[in-house]
Amino acid sequence: MEKKRIACCISGRGSNFKAILDAVNTNEIQGEIVLVVTDNPGAEGLSYAHENGIRSETVVRKKGEPRYEYFERIIRLFEEYGVDLICLAGFMKVLSGNIVSRYRNRIINIHPALLPSFPGEKAQRQAVEYGVKVSGCTVHFVDEGVDTGPIILQEAVPVEDGDTEETLAARILKKEHVLFPRAVKLFCSDMLTVEGRFVRVSDRGLGC
Ligand code: GAR
């Protein structure tokens, strides 16, 4: 099986990108990160790309630039690098329809809540303010909606008395760093099949 060519999109800290990178570097994932794209020239996570000799491209949306055209520029990069899989690892822009349809079921996002609860921004704050007892994280394929695509994997964490947005986010983040590489591994091993809203995981053993 050929290694999949992965692009990671980040906007900030990049700890999920780092978790995927670590799993690639230990050959846990049958893939290669060929490109990192950011919309934020100051994204701290770019340092992991630099340290690992991974090409990075900063694509800032120009004033008044239509979303469609902004994402056309990003699509051209993905094409140039021959990307098979796009990982949204804390990428804080909603994708436009052109990129979703071009890479249908090849864009994976991590969201810090148990979808369909608390989609959109500040999911951990939404969970704390709502008073739920359980939250978690979701890895899903990206469709035209906001955090509505077919779910690949989910993991729950307890919400404890006295939790703040920050303490809950830290607890969820630990799970994200396990769940996202696991989903990328499944994709890169051709073990995911999408049937409508359902993502089937092939039952070959994985040990990760
Ligand atoms: C993560 O918690 C991720 O789930 C969240 O942003 C954080 C990025 O952290 N993503 C979203 O909220 C997307 N809607 P990281 O840059 O350290 O990976």
With 0-12 CB in 10 A as exposed, 13-18 as middle and 19+ as buried, what is 141?
buried
Query: Over the stretch 134-185, which tens digit does the pLDDT of each residue have?
Result: 999 999 999 999 999 999 999 999 999 999 999 999 999 999 999 999 999 9
Residue 24 has pLDDT above 60, yes or no: yes
For residue 80, how many other CB atoms are within 10 A of its CB? 11
DSSP string, 46-106: HHHHHHTT--EEE-PPPTT--HHHHHHHHHHHHHHTT-SEEEESS--SPPPHHHHHHTTT-
Question: Atom 16 in ligand 1: which residue has the minimum CA distance?
Answer: 14
With 0-12 CB in 10 A as exposed, 13-18 as middle and 19+ as buried, what is 207?
exposed
Which sequence spans correspond to the domains of the chain?
1-103, 110-208
Catalytic: 50? no
Query: Over the stretch 73-119, which tens digit does the pLDDT of each residue have?
Result: 999 999 999 999 999 999 999 999 999 999 999 999 999 999 999 99
Q: Is 89 in the pocket of ligand 1 (CB under 6 A)?
A: yes
CATH of 110-208, one of 3.40.50.170, 2.40.50.220, 3.40.50.970, 3.30.70.1140: 3.40.50.170
How remote is the CA of residue 1 from the centroid of ligand 1, in Å?
30
Query: Over the stretch 25-45, which tens digit does the pLDDT of each residue have?
Result: 999 999 999 999 999 999 999
CATH H-level superfamily of 1-103: Formyl transferase, N-terminal domain (3.40.50.170)
